[in-house]
Structure 1
Amino acid sequence: MKILVVGNGGREHALVWKLKQSERVEKIYVAPGNAGTADLAENIEIEATDIDRLIKFCKEEKIDLTVVGPEAPLVVGIVDAFEAEGLKVFGPNKAAAQLEGSKVFSKDFMKKYDIPTAKYESFADAKEAIDYIKKEGAPIVVKAEGLAAGKGVIVAQNVDEAVRAVEEIMVNEKFGEAGERIVVEEFLAGEEATVLAFTDGETIVPMIPSQDHKPAYDGDKGPNTGGMGAYAPAPIATEELMAKVYEEILVPTIEGLKKEGITFKGVLYSGLMIVDGEVKVIEYNVRFGDPEAEVVLPLLKNDLVDIIEAIIEDRLEDVGIEWLNQTSVCVIMASGGYPVAYEKGKEISGIKEAEAEDIIVFQAGTDFKDDKLVTAGGRVLGVTALGNGYQATIDRAYEGVKKIDFADAHYRTDIGAKAIK
C-alpha cells in the first residue's frame, strides 16, 4: 500500500520509521517532511495545512492511507475534508480536535464531565485576567487558548511574571489569534507524565506511559519548549495509577465526547500531573506527542498499519497490542537560543557515527543546503536509545549525542534522571 504522512518534525520521522517496518507498505510519501524522512520516504513540497493540495495529491497518486502527525491540520479539519472525498485518513475530526485546539473548550469539557484538572478561569479581557491573578497570587499558570507549538504555557513564579505573560499573549499578541482568550489556572506541584492512548471511539488502549521534559534547561529551569527529551516507561505511572488514568480520565473523556455527539478516533494524549498519588489532566493533545512518539513507537511490537486500520474500521478491540520489555530514552538536540531566537543553517555532522543497533537519530529541524545536512528549526534532532534499565539506556543516548556536532547545539543533560530517582 501507499501511505502519506503529513508533517515535518521528529514525530513524523518516527512515524515514517515505524510504518516502513510494515511488510504491507510499498511506498511512503511525506508532506513536507525533513532531511531525515527523505532517507526513508519521498518528501513532497506541500505544507501540512494545505488540505486542498494534499487531497489532490492523494487522488492523483492513489494513496491508500494518510497519517496526520501534527495538531494544526487536525484542528482545521483535515480529517473531515479527506473523509468527505472518500479518502482513508488517520486522526480525530475537527470537532474532536477542539480538545487540543481550544484550551477553553477542553477545560470546560473536563469541568462538565468531572475529569480531574486544575482549578481555572478563562478570560477574553486582559484587565479581568490581571485582576484575577492579583487576587489568586502566584505561582500560577497562564495559557494561550489556541495552538502555540508547545510554547503558549507560562508557569509564572510571581504575580509580576504572570501579568507580563497576560500582556505578552493578549496585548502584544505574541501568539496571534491563539491568544485572543487565555486560561489562568492553579499551579500544581507534582511530577508530570504522559499517557497516549489508541482509540476508535469505543475501545481505548493506553500506550506505555512516558515522561516529557518541557523546560529548556537542566533541573526543569527556563522557559517551556516543545519538549527537550523523554523516556518510557515512566515509573511514576504505576499499574495502580494507570488503572486510575483509565477509569477517571480516558473513559470519561471518550464517553463525554460521545455525549456531545463527537466520536474520537486516533491517538488521545493526556498530559498529567501526579500529586500524592492523585492524577489531574494538565492538557489534552489529539495526536502523538513529540518527543513522546520518539520513545513510545520504538517500543511498539505491532505493525502500526494494522492498528491504524483497526481504529479507522472500528475494530480496535480485535487487536492485541504488545510492547517490548525495554526502556527508551530520547535526548533532543536543539539550536542555541531555542525556544527564543536561534540561527538556522548550521552544518550537522556525526549522525551516521551515532546511529547503532540500539540508537536511532530522529530528525526534526533539518534540511539540505548545498548537499550538506543543516539545522532548519529550534528542535533539530532526537537521539533515541533502547536498552535494559534506565541508567544504561540514558548513558547510551548521551553517547550518541556526543558523536553529533553542530554549532551552538544545546541539550539538557538530565533527561531520565527522575526515572532513576
Structure 2
Amino acid sequence: MLLVGSGSREHAIGWTLRRSPRLGELYALPGNPGLEEVARRVPWPQDGVEGVARWAEEHGVDLVVVGPEAPLAQGLADRLAERGVPCLGPSQAAARIESSKGFAKEVMAEAGVPTARARAFDSLEDALGALATWALPLVVKADGLASGKGVRVCRERAEARAFLEEVMSRGRFGEAGRRVLLEECLEGEELSYFVLTDGRGVLRLGAARDHKRLMEGDRGPNTGGMGAVSLPGLAPGGLEEEILERIVRPALAALEERGTPYRGVLYAGLMLTREGPKVVEFNARLGDPEAQVLLPRLEEDLLELFWRAATGELDGGTARLSPETAVGVVLADAGYPDDPQEGAPLQAAEAFRNAGTIRAATGAAGQAYGPPEVPKRLLFHGATRTKGDRLVSGGGRVLTAVGFGEDLDQARSEAYGLVEEVRWPGAVYRRDIAVRPGADLRFLRRPHP
C-alpha cells in the first residue's frame, strides 16, 4: 500500500492500517519521522501527482490511500485510475466539494441540503459593496483550499472589510482567495461527521468534535485544528439518521447526477442549530485532528474497509468503535498559524514509541482481524523533521498527543499527561480541549491547569 501525506492524520492512518493482518508493505509518500515506525518513506517526486501515480504503478502498489486534500484537488485519483491503480479518494471533479466552497454550495442547493445562506464574489469591489447588507456576525471564506485558515468569523464590518482586502487585494491565500464567499453565521455546536462510500454503499465511520480556534475559549484565528474529542454517543442514533438522510445521501446523489460520483471518505462539518444540523463545509478526506481520535477507536480492519470502498464493494452499515473516549491535543510551533518558528529540538517526542503498531509483522497471512487493545496514549507526528541525528519541529502543527480512557476525565488526563512529557519551550497548545464553557454539552469540564 501507498499512503500519501505527511501530517499527524497520515501517521494515525498508517498506525491503524498496520494493525491489519492483510498488510504487507506500507509506503508513506513523503511521510514524516513518526511514520517510519510503521512505513517506509518515499520522497515526493518532482513532477507531482503524475510522478506519484507512475511510482505506484511501477512498484506494484495494490491500493493508494490519499490523506490530504491537495493531491485530490490536483487529480491524483484520476492519474491513478488511468494506470489501473485503486485509490481511496475521490476524483478531481468530485473533490471540488472541498476545493471550491462555491461549488459545494451549488451542490447543496441542488440537493436541498441545509446550510448557511451564502453569496460568492469575484471582485473585491462587489464584495465590499454587499457587505453592508449582511447581518452581523458574518463569515468570510476564501473559495479555495487554504489549510483551514481561509475562514474568518467577523463580528464587525471593519474586521470583514480588512479580511476581504487581505485575501482578495493582497493575495494572502493566492489563487484560493481570488473568489470569496460572504456567509450567514450559524449558531450552535459544531460536529465533524465521517462516512466511507464507494459511490453507492455508505458506511458510517463516526463523529468527533474539532477545536479550530488557536486559543482557549474558542478565541483567536482559525487554524487547521488544535485538538479533538471522540466518544460514544457523540452523535446519537436519531441525529445520525438525520445527518445521513438530509445531508450525506442527498449530497452524494447530487454529485452522481452531475456525472462525478464520489468515492472515499466524506467529512461533513456541521453546526447543530435549533433547526437541526446544517453544513458548514464538506471535506473530501478524513479530518486532522479528528482522524487521530477516531481511527484508534475502530474495531474493524481499516485496510479491508478502504479496499472495499476503493474497488466498489462496500456495504452499508456502521463501523464498530470501541467504548473508549479519546482526546487529542495538538502541539504547534511558536507563531502558528501565521508565522510558525521551526527547528525546536524534540528529544522527548523522539524517545516516545507508540504501542500496538506491529500486528502485521507478527500476524499470519489471512488471519482473522481481532483489534488489539487501545493503548492509553498515542503520539502522532505532523510537522516533524530530522536535522542531522536530531528530531526537530518543522513549522506548524507538530504533534498530536492522544489520550484514551473509560470517560472524558480519564482521557483528558492521559492526553495532557503526554503533552507534559513531550512539549518543548515555546510550544503552543490549548488547555481546554474537550471543554466548551457555557455550551449545551454533557461533558463540561474545567480547562487543564
TM score, norm. by length of structure 1: 0.96
Deviation per CA, 1:307-329: give whole Å up to 9, x if none.
Answer: 01111222211787311111111
Give the % identical residues.
37
Pairing partner for 1:4 from 2, 7, 17: 2
Q: Would you say the 8 A contact 1:137–1:158 is kept in 2?
A: no
Query: Is 1:197 matched up with 2:215?
Result: no
Displacement of 1:290: 0.5
Displacement of 1:364: 0.1
Pairing partner for 1:271 from 265, 269, 272: 269
- RCO higher in structure (CA 8 A, sep ≥6): 2
Aligned with 1:374: secondary structure?
strand
Pairing partner for 2:388 from 362, 367, 370: 370
Pairing partner for 2:379 from 361, 365, 382: 361
Q: Would you say the 8 A contact 1:347–1:375 is kept in 2?
A: yes
* Equivalent residue runs for 1:274-293 within 5 Å: 274-276=272-274, 278-293=276-291
Q: Would you say the 8 A contact 1:6–1:48 is kept in 2?
A: no
Query: CA separation in 1, counterparts of 2:300 and 2:332?
Result: 31
Query: CA separation in 2, counterparts of 1:200 and 1:128?
Result: 40
Aligned with 2:132: secondary structure?
helix
Query: CA separation in 2, counterparts of 1:399 and 1:102?
Result: 39
Displacement of 1:157: 1.4
Amino acid paired to 2:91: N
Query: CA separation in 1, counterparts of 2:288 and 2:47?
Result: 18
- 1:330 aligns to what? 328
Query: CA separation in 2, counterparts of 1:308 and 1:119?
Result: 34
- 1:348 aligns to what? 346
Query: CA separation in 1, counterparts of 2:380 and 2:46?
Result: 19
Q: CA RMSD in A?
A: 1.6
- 1:253 aligns to what? 251
Query: CA separation in 1, counterparts of 2:383 and 2:47?
Result: 18
Q: Which runs of 5+ in 1 are unaligned?
A: none
Query: Is 1:164 matched up with 2:182?
Result: no
Displacement of 1:355: 5.5
- 1:126 aligns to what? 124
Displacement of 1:407: 2.7
Query: CA separation in 1, counterparts of 2:287 and 2:47?
Result: 18
Amino acid paired to 1:404: V
How many residues are aligned here?
A: 419
- 2:178 aligns to what? 180
Deviation per CA, 1:289-310: give whole Å up to 9, x if none.
Answer: 0001101100111111110111
* Equivalent residue runs for 1:32-181 within 5 Å: 32-46=30-44, 50-181=48-179
Aligned with 2:300: secondary structure?
coil
Query: CA separation in 1, counterparts of 2:216 and 2:83?
Result: 47
Displacement of 1:235: 5.0
Displacement of 1:411: 0.4
Aligned with 2:329: secondary structure?
strand
Between 113-122 and 355-364, the greater mean CA deviation after superposition: 355-364
Aligned with 2:94: secondary structure?
helix
Pairing partner for 1:237 from 218, 228, 235: 235
* Equivalent residue runs for 1:7-26 within 5 Å: 7-26=5-24
Amino acid paired to 1:95: A
Query: CA separation in 1, counterparts of 2:188 and 2:156?
Result: 18
Change in CA separation of 1:312 and 1:46 when aligned onto 2, cut-off 3 Å:
same
Displacement of 1:48: 9.9
Deviation per CA, 1:227-279: give whole Å up to 9, x if none.
Answer: 00001037553222111101100110111111111211100000000112611
Q: Which runs of 5+ in 2 are unaligned?
A: 356-374, 445-449
Query: CA separation in 1, counterparts of 2:433 and 2:206?
Result: 18
Query: CA separation in 2, counterparts of 1:347 and 1:81?
Result: 38
Query: CA separation in 2, counterparts of 1:335 and 1:319?
Result: 40
Deviation per CA, 1:92-138: give whole Å up to 9, x if none.
Answer: 11111010010110011111211000011100011111121112142
- 2:366 aligns to what? none
Aligned with 2:26: secondary structure?
strand
Query: CA separation in 2, counterparts of 1:65 and 1:103?
Result: 29
- 1:408 aligns to what? 426
Query: CA separation in 2, counterparts of 1:240 and 1:307?
Result: 25
Between 217-226 and 341-350, the greater mean CA deviation after superposition: 341-350
- 2:368 aligns to what? none
Between 395-404 and 411-420, the greater mean CA deviation after superposition: 411-420
Aligned with 2:141: secondary structure?
strand
Query: CA separation in 2, counterparts of 1:238 and 1:26?
Result: 37
Aligned with 1:21: secondary structure?
coil
Query: Is 1:383 matched up with 2:380?
Result: no
- 2:412 aligns to what? 394
Deviation per CA, 1:201-231: give whole Å up to 9, x if none.
Answer: 1111222210000000000000000000001
Change in CA separation of 1:48 and 1:199 when aligned onto 2, cut-off 3 Å:
farther
Please identify runs of 4+ aligned residues in structure 1 that moved more than 6 A: none
Q: Would you say the 8 A contact 1:354–1:401 is kept in 2?
A: no
Query: CA separation in 1, counterparts of 2:318 and 2:283?
Result: 24
TM score, norm. by length of structure 2: 0.90
Q: Would you say the 8 A contact 1:32–1:48 is kept in 2?
A: no
Amino acid paired to 2:307: E
Between 312-321 and 102-111, the greater mean CA deviation after superposition: 312-321
Change in CA separation of 1:272 and 1:138 when aligned onto 2, cut-off 3 Å:
same
Amino acid paired to 1:103: K
- 2:306 aligns to what? 308
Displacement of 1:162: 0.4
- 2:365 aligns to what? none
Change in CA separation of 1:46 and 1:70 when aligned onto 2, cut-off 3 Å:
same
* Equivalent residue runs for 1:289-300 within 5 Å: 289-300=287-298
